[in-house]
Amino acid sequence: MNIVGPERYGLAITPTSFAVVCERGTSKFSGIATSRKPKLYVVSVDEKPIYVGLTKQPIRNRLRLGWNAKGETGYYGYAWRHHHENVFLDVWAHDDPPTENECLDIETVEAEVVFLIRSAGQWPKHQTEIHFHPSTDVHRAVARSIMARYGDSSLRTQPASQ
């Protein structure tokens, strides 16, 4: 399982729009964020993950879906867009997914990342859904390497009472 990344983007957000700042200084997504490979993305504030997601579509398309959702199908979009003005978005891609069920491994890693966050104190603040699958040592190791991106700050989550 070859995971590449992260690529980091800053997002200036309102409930109705987002503006991108690439780590290269441009105002658009590039690299793995534009690919159709299975991707895991983590939204963070002050180096604390607040949301973990996955997609195969380009990140801009996925974010647009999260911004335009009106609840007709039961999906109201990203809750975090209503609570923050600036976030970071880190993106990893599964570079060599299996041809059958190509998102299964990255979805398993997503669940393991969320589990690590929860084990440190509380679910990611704006996580609304997660799919669990049996994991292997490889999935768990990838999840730990992703969480290492956030250092010790990822272990300082909101108290359970909030």
Q: Give 53-64 pLDDT, tens digit per residue.
A: 999 999 999 999
- Kindly state the percentage of the chain with pLDDT values over 90: 78
- Higher-scoring residue by pLDDT: 149, 156: 149
Two tokens, residue 40:
């895991």
The answer on pLDDT for 152 being more than 70 is no
Q: What is the pLDDT of residue 159?
A: 39
pLDDT in tens, 128-140: 888 999 999 999 9
- For the domain bounded by 3-151, which CATH number is listed? 3.40.1440
- Where does the chain have alpha helices with state H? 59-68, 104-119, 137-148
pLDDT in tens, 3-41: 999 999 999 999 999 999 888 888 999 999 999 999 999
Q: What is the pLDDT of residue 81?
A: 95
In whole angstroms, what is the distance from residue 49 CA to residue 157 CA? 9
Query: Average pLDDT, whole number, for the chain?
Result: 91
Q: What is the pLDDT of residue 24?
A: 81
DSSP secondary-structure letter at 106? H
Q: What is the pTM of this model?
A: 0.90
- Residue 16 CB neighbours (<10 A): 9
The pair phi, psi for residue 133, each rounded to 5°, is: -135, 155
